[in-house]
Chains A and B, each alone.
Chain A
């Protein structure tokens, strides 16, 4: 646990010391702010759907950029040799990296809280969907971070890591859209596997336990795969 915290804290610090996290957060704020203001002034809606709905794909993209360096850079710079010859478990390394990047995601989402605060200040929004909407985007974000860390564990090239991560995430997102072309049972099954299937429920203010379990499972699955991939590099 202590080792995980050490690594998480170090990751968080190096995010805050490098321009990448600021650029990613900046782009996220500008674009979601744009979506939010367009939708609120067009539909006169007191909800944050205008920020959350287009925000999801943007998030998948930005998370891939945010996580690409986590292990690929360590491999490239040789610092992986320090990290995994220290008396630290591979799972602690991966979990530390995950929690560090989750910290940045949390900061990013906290910065967007002024959208709902504006709504509360100038209108009378329904708090329920705002709460579940944030829960949804946080869960989606954490699943994406896990995918990104897995992709970063595969290579020493950060660009490759980002592309692989983006590829997996977009495939998992859009695979749900094929459901309509498939026989009902198969379509439903594919839908359940898709990152996009449960997201609208959260926007509507519904907390579906299956949705929470789904996103947590994806997170756990890809973190597990990242641990295996790190272990595997010892056997190369």
Chain B
């Protein structure tokens, strides 16, 4: 549905996107993951026709964005990171304008407005001036304009940024539902978000794709070692020594009154830790598994890449 081939973008002399290629198949929800300034927004802006590529091309539903830009754009619903709202318009008149821009006729706009209002839970705000809405509702209006013309492809740039946790959960739910009849490419820098919403993830770093895989494969790829954070009351030195003797634990460090332990893949030393603490007469206050953070993944991936070269 989306085919990106050898896409390169320079801003002046700065290289923002470096020769990336990927596909998004029909019906897929693909997460575009990367830290800030990785080139996510630039890539999305090129796909939607907001920016022209320096090199390479993109096909949206078999229309390429250079020679058949209008046909390609007709297939896309786009929610930019900065939600493009006219703050002096009401929600209804804004959706009307967005629909007309996409070539819809009045009857269809009226029918679809009611539908998207319901989908995005905006019933009470239809006739409110957008400037008076809170960030979370503005974001929903942004989603509403992206889907009003029932596009085949949805491009969502950081759809959950800057809104409160409840609304983040609602938005994720909404995206999953939209995924039933849309092909979706969404960008985020939040790791758990892709695992909740997406079937596949493309990780981009400094303008290049560093990993591309299904979510289930990715997590196993990332595993290799596990980490736990412990809080224990008792003498630091003795506890550290004892922990180091537990089978499977590779490394123990003590920072900010927490013990961070690292253990080999496939090993779960938690029961043994408990036993050791009881034997020593110390109290285990808490024990939690530390997931791999996005930074860790990038460090790992980029380190691997450099090793390959």
Contact = CB atoms under 8 A, between A and B. Distances in A.
B145 interface: yes
B52 A79 contact: no
A85 B82 CA distance: 14
Nearest to A17: B88
Contacts of A83: 84, 101
Contacts, number: 72
Nearest to B47: A85
A150 B145 CA distance: 28
Given A85-B50, A234-B51, A234-B52, A78 B84 contact: yes
B172 to A, nearest CB: 23
A235 interface: yes
A180 interface: no
B49 A85 contact: yes
Max chain A C-beta neighbours (<10 A), residue from B70, B86, B93, B101 = B101
A234 to B, nearest CB: 4
Contact of A85 (B73, B83, B85): B73
B125 interface: no
A38 B186 CA distance: 65
Interface residues of B, number: 30
Question: Which interface class (under 10, 10 to 19, 20 to 34, 35 or more) fits A?
Answer: 20 to 34
Nearest to A86: B101
Interface string B20-37: 000000000000000000
A78 B101 contact: no
Contacts of A81: 45, 50, 78, 80, 82, 84
13 contacts: A3-B101, A3-B103, A6-B100, A10-B97, A77-B86, A81-B82, A81-B84, A85-B48, A86-B73, A86-B98, A87-B73, A87-B102, A88-B70
Interface of B: 11, 45, 48-52, 70-71, 73-74, 76, 78, 80, 82-89, 93, 97-98, 100-103, 145
Given A14-B88, A235-B52, 15 more contacts: A3-B100, A6-B97, A6-B101, A13-B93, A81-B45, A82-B78, A82-B80, A84-B50, A85-B49, A86-B73, A87-B73, A87-B101, A234-B51, A235-B51, A236-B51
